Amino acid sequence: MTYFQSVQIKNSGRPILSNDEHDIIINDSVGLYKDNQRIKDKQNGRIFLTNKRLIYVDNLLPLNSSVSLNLNDIDSIDYQSRFLKRSSRLIIFLISNKNNQVHNQSNLLNCSSSSFLPSFSSPNSIFSTTEWICPICSATNVSDGKITLASTNFPVCNNCGVQMDYNMTKDSVKYHIDNTTLTTDTNKHKNGLSCPKCTFLNHSSMKYCEMCDTKLPQSKNIISSSSSSNNNHNNNSIDVQSSDMPKYIQISFRKTDGSLFFEATKKALNDLKLDNGTFNQNLASVNGIPVTQKNNISNSTFTTFTTTPMLSSNIEFMGINGLERYKETQLLNNDILFNNALQDLNNLMSLANSIENLYRAQDKNLSNNHISNKNIIETNLIIDREKFLNQDSFLNELSREIYDFAMLEFKDNEINNNVLIPLIDFYAMYNKAMRIGTGLISPQELKEACQRFSKLGLNDLKLITLNKRILCLATNNSFDFIKKQILELLSKNPGLDILKLTQLLNDMADQHKSKLDNTSGSNNNKNNQNSVWTVSIIEEILQSCINNGILVIDEDLSGVYYYTNRF
């Protein structure tokens, strides 16, 4: 499998991007095709377009069935709109197929085709074609061989894909016969292809006649069209591990038309070619003016600036001729000045990109103080509303990002692994840490995203309601964990108020962190100063224990004191 690459996927089902890679647009409900055949286990997923890759993430098996395709391996792309039951598709032509195209065309001339194709072994072969009109879409089709009622393998329509019914199309059937020899036909293939209908000599690589649009008999798609189409109906699913290189790869959009994704991919390919310097290579002159190259070495980075000389604007001739030459010189100077301005703008944009990369690298270095040295530096996907075609796709990806953020924030030790935080506090924390610069989310969006954890298979976090009034984000055993901690403290120190109880709980958490830091050799003193449990959470848990009869209270003028219920 040389055209697809493996992808690193997080536990939430989101791809891991490289340091200088960013996402552009995301599309849901897509499937992958190799040529015209479906690829197994890759028919229900999401497609991510980045500035470097096309990443397919499978919804059912994200860790095993996710693949990527480098944009550098793409030669060109095409788009097919939806027709009847056929979904809209993005067709991707690979670069390696361009070198093998001529070789494949010559090899296909010797391949066997369907049962009604004529034999080429005889020195005096009869090349016959059948022209028929599809009764479904009224498209004119031309098939090789003479099709009769006794034929066993009927072709399919090239337009709608419906198989031919001879009884319904017999009134429109026309036969075209061309008596040639194999030697003569071989010479024609070298010099061109003669149309069997109008005898126009076409280029050997043409598939249809340029004059009458008749299918040419030696075209490789003619020989294999009907057989490959029928094979697709019988066996329309292949394994992605197939060793043969495909002619093209298709991305099928099941719920959208894919036009926005096609335009974004087209722009990404053009931007990649500009970054790679594909355009205007070895520029020698601009409008007849030679171009000089200047090399500037700064900060160990080699940069080439292209400069063009300005023409003299002095009037060297008198009269109308001199004025015309002066005007032409001015126009040429304006053109050169405009080109230099665009080049300076490109240099400025490259510096801006360098500053952005430096900022991201610095931001990662700061965030790595909270992450183990064993973890790989990951580039977070920017969850922007404009990259999604509908609200449902945005909430699904937002749910995965919230899950990653929460698990990364509360994974340091046993205390933090038992997350129990009010949703409103987590809302402020998440917006401040992740959404500044990309658009804040509303509390309703956060709630809906958290409610999708179980739907997306993210079972480590869930929403719970304490005392039927406070909505919290919690792990599976967080409530029982903190409840156990409170009961242990009250059994050892009866008569504590809520402030003293909160202080003791957080001191226990800090001591536990310090032990882990001393064991691992890390330094998280700054993190140890932060409170793990908030007063509001502890108050709700105490109220729940009182309602269940586990705790009792002693209330006086100085405050409320809590005791374990021994009766």
Pairing mode, if any, of strands 45-50 and 23-34? Answer: antiparallel
pLDDT at 550 over 90: no
pLDDT at 375 over 80: no
Of the listed ranges 69-73, 176-180, 346-350, 507-511, the least confidently predicted one is 176-180
Paired residues of 15 in beta bridges: 9
Domain that includes residue 137, residue range: 110-217
Which CATH number fits the domain that encloses residue 47?
2.30.29.30
SS3 call for 262: helix
Which CATH number fits the domain that encloses residue 459?
1.10.10.10
Say how far apart CA 481 and CA 484 lie, in whole Å.
Answer: 5
138 inside domain: yes
For 157, phi and psi rounded to 5 degrees? -70, 135
**Domain check: are 87 and 128 in the same one?**
no
Query: Is the C-alpha dihedral spanning 406, 423, 475, 550 positive or negative?
Result: positive
Counting Cβ atoms within 10 Å, is residue 245 exposed (0-12), middle (13-18) or buried (19+)?
middle
Residue 14 binned pLDDT confidence (cut-offs 50, 70, 90): confident
Percent of all residues in the chain with a pLDDT value above 90, rounded to a whole number: 9
Residue 367 binned pLDDT confidence (cut-offs 50, 70, 90): low
The pLDDT of 545-550, averaged and rounded, is 86
Choose the final residue of a domain: 425, 452, 476.
Answer: 476
Average pLDDT over all residues of the chain: 74
Say how far apart CA 61 and CA 44 lie, in whole Å.
Answer: 10
390 inside domain: yes
pLDDT at 447: 92
13 inside domain: yes
Choose the final residue of a domain: 446, 476, 506.
Answer: 476
Which CATH number fits the domain that encloses residue 153?
2.30.30.380
Q: pTM of the entire structure?
A: 0.50
Q: Which helix (H) or strand (E) holds 205?
A: none
Of the listed ranges 47-61, 65-79, 399-413, the least confidently predicted one is 399-413
Say how far apart CA 433 and CA 256 lie, in whole Å.
Answer: 33
**Domain check: are 306 and 270 in the same one?**
no
**Domain check: are 391 and 465 in the same one?**
yes
Question: Under a CB-based contact definition with an 8 Å cutoff, are residues 182 and 122 in contact?
Answer: yes
225 inside domain: no
Cα-based distances in Å from 343 to 288, 337, 338: 18, 10, 9
**Domain check: are 431 and 502 in the same one?**
no
Pairing mode, if any, of strands 88-94 and 74-80? Answer: antiparallel
Question: Under a CB-based contact definition with an 8 Å cutoff, are residues 269 and 74 in contact?
Answer: yes
Q: To 10 degrees, what angle do helices 96-108 and 220-234 make? A: 100
Residue 149 binned pLDDT confidence (cut-offs 50, 70, 90): confident
Number of structural domains (the chain) is 5
pLDDT at 236: 46
DSSP state of 550: S
**Domain check: are 72 and 94 in the same one?**
yes
For residue 137, give the nearest of 83, 216, 82 by alpha carbon: 83
